Structure 1
Amino acid sequence: MKIALAQINTDDNVEQNLEKVAGFVERSSISGARLVVFPEATMTALGTNLVSACKNYGSSWRASVASLAKQFGITIVIGEFEEAADGRVRNLAGIYFPDGTRSEYAKIHLFDAFGNKESDEVEPGTTPTVVEVDGVKVGVAICYDIRFPKLFAELSRSGAEVIVAPTSWGAGPGKIEQWETLARSRALDSNSFVVALGQADPAVTGVKAAASSPTGIGHSLVSDPFGHAVIELGKEESLEIVELDLELVQRAQQTIPILENARLGY
């Protein structure tokens, strides 16, 4: 399975963010990728007016991304938002397919940590999500979810061979090391590939970022089911294409049958 990693930075300009997305989708398609993954909060960056972005651009955003998936014949996983009933928003990974259909995953674990309180603005999701891309089952997580191994185990039990995790990771002491360790650990936990795709580092790219919000550190990576980093990116914006050897999933399931050996749900 050939996938594209679109490590970009976004800000509060939804229209410009969409233009950037369009360029990366086209390049991904030309490269032969069948799936392109964008970061969490690609639609508008964390720390911006999320409700306003949903009201003003929600419908047009979805129509535009759906059009890109259809035009370039590629599945797109992308961070976006929609209004929730209680005045908050839902933090989503939208999944847009070339046939014009759409699925979504709503972030279950909210970032109420390191002094942040995501639950003030975001309504939590409740349902793990697995979709099919060219016959391959792909699980979806978002950012803080990567700290919760049971979610990744559940996605694997539901058949996921690849788990994508769009992210806007917060900077700080030790956060890069935590990010890399968590991504590789979740791959080991679930006998699956983990595609941990984050926002680039605004301190490097020059994109204006909200100082108090997690707005990216770069360092996206893909871990194989044995915890080996297939590819690791730097801090800058970049597009990388990776070919996943899915035979490694079956080999890991046979060699380290974590889920089969689990007892009492642990």
Structure 2
Amino acid sequence: MSAAPQPPQRPAVRVTVAQLQVSDDHTANREAVGDAFATASRASADVLVLPEYASGFDARGVGAEHAEPLDGPFVTLLRTRARATGVAVLAGTTLPADGDDPRAVNAVVAVDGSGELVGVYRKVHLYDAFGQRESERLAPGPADAPPLVVEVGGLTFGVLTCYDLRFPESARRLVDAGAQVLVVPAAWASGDLKAMHWRTLAIARAIENTAAVVAVGQAGRGVTGRSLVVAPDGVVGLEMDEQPQVRTVDLDGAALLRVREQNPSLANRRYAVVPVG
């Protein structure tokens, strides 16, 4: 059995949630991200969370035409603004696929408050559902890659992306790696029951893992918006509508530990999560 979690270094970790409307204009998107950093800095945030595909998006599908390398303009901007403001950032982007694969990769990058690129998560579960075929344009990340977990302000954040939210084992694997906060950048497609699924699944992942959930969606045509922050007991502390907006919340690490003491379901579990295929 693992050692008991230690209290966070401060009473709360401040998170800025940026529900942006993203277009296929990469320059305009970078300007919007710069504005979100400015808002986060004014709010004295520790970390800024941007949605999936924050570098460039087309509701008809995102592929190689939107891909930028890790040393390209988007990630360079993230690193520059993080270094200037001291605000860490978790952001969805699109990377070139490896080798001769003509597709791209749906990814989330993690940059710390000094501007260092500290991790990349390549989306494992591609959105081949509800009439969509994301795998035609995107290559999946390896299921056995180490989970992306990063420490900010004494709390450990674990990263998954959009459709991953429908797979509880993805969230549990992050929690097994130490995550106390599950971060879900998304461009959750709109449609019948989709907003209800988004909200319900975010709350479920919080309750079953006794973890906070920061689910950040895109605003605009073809996507749901409705970003939300859920406490580890399932209480929704922040919920947005469909419009672009940027809000800041505090995550209480001590309250998270109290929930895990009262509901020790992680300690009581009888099954492990391992990659397959």
- Scaled by the length of structure 1, the TM-score of the pair is 0.91
Instruction: Map residues 153-172 of structure 1 onto 2, 5 A cutoff.
Output: 153-172=172-191
Q: Distance in 1 between matches of 2:63 and 2:111?
A: 21
DSSP-derived class of the 1:29 partner: helix
Question: Which of 142, 148, 159 is the aligned partner of 1:129?
Answer: 148
Unaligned stretches of 5+ residues in structure 1: 203-214
Q: Per-residue CA shift, 1:101-149, capped at 9, x if unaligned? A: 1121111111110011111111111322111112321100100011111
Corresponding residue number in structure 2 for 1:36: 48
Corresponding residue number in structure 2 for 1:117: 133
Instruction: Map residues 100-115 of structure 1 onto 2, 5 A cutoff.
Output: 100-102=115-117, 103-115=119-131
- Scaled by the length of structure 2, the TM-score of the pair is 0.87
Aligned residues: 254
Contact 1:143 1:166 in 2 (8 A): yes
Contact 1:78 1:166 in 2 (8 A): yes
1:159 CA drift (Å): 1.1
Contact 1:41 1:168 in 2 (8 A): yes
Question: Which of 189, 205, 213 is the aligned partner of 1:186?
Answer: 205
Look up the equivalent residue of 2:124 and give its one-letter code.
I
Q: Distance in 2 between matches of 1:243 and 1:57?
A: 30
- Please identify which structure carries the higher helix content: 1
Question: Which of 11, 30, 34 is the aligned partner of 2:23?
Answer: 11
Contact 2:68 2:74 in 1 (8 A): no
Q: Alpha carbon RMSD of aligned pairs, Å? A: 1.7
Contact 2:183 2:213 in 1 (8 A): yes
Corresponding residue number in structure 2 for 1:76: 89
Of 244-253 and 1-10, deviating more is 244-253
Q: Distance in 2 between matches of 1:159 and 1:49?
A: 32
Q: Distance in 1 between matches of 2:152 and 2:77?
A: 20
DSSP-derived class of the 1:244 partner: strand
Instruction: Map residues 89-100 of structure 1 onto 2, 5 A cutoff.
Output: 89-100=104-115
Q: Per-residue CA shift, 1:228-259, capped at 9, x if unaligned? A: 10110111011111011112221221222222
Task: State, as a whole percentage, how many aligned pairs show the same letter.
Answer: 32
Q: Per-residue CA shift, 1:158-197, capped at 9, x if unaligned? A: 1111111000001111111111000000001211100000
DSSP-derived class of the 2:172 partner: helix
CA 1:75 to 1:55, structure 2 compared with 1: closer, same or farther past 3 Å? closer
Of 122-131 and 158-167, deviating more is 122-131
1:56 CA drift (Å): 8.8
Q: Distance in 2 between matches of 1:48 and 1:154?
A: 28
Corresponding residue number in structure 1 for 2:4: none
Contact 1:14 1:57 in 2 (8 A): no
CA 1:56 to 1:32, structure 2 compared with 1: closer, same or farther past 3 Å? closer
Corresponding residue number in structure 1 for 2:250: 243
DSSP-derived class of the 1:159 partner: coil
Corresponding residue number in structure 2 for 1:229: 236
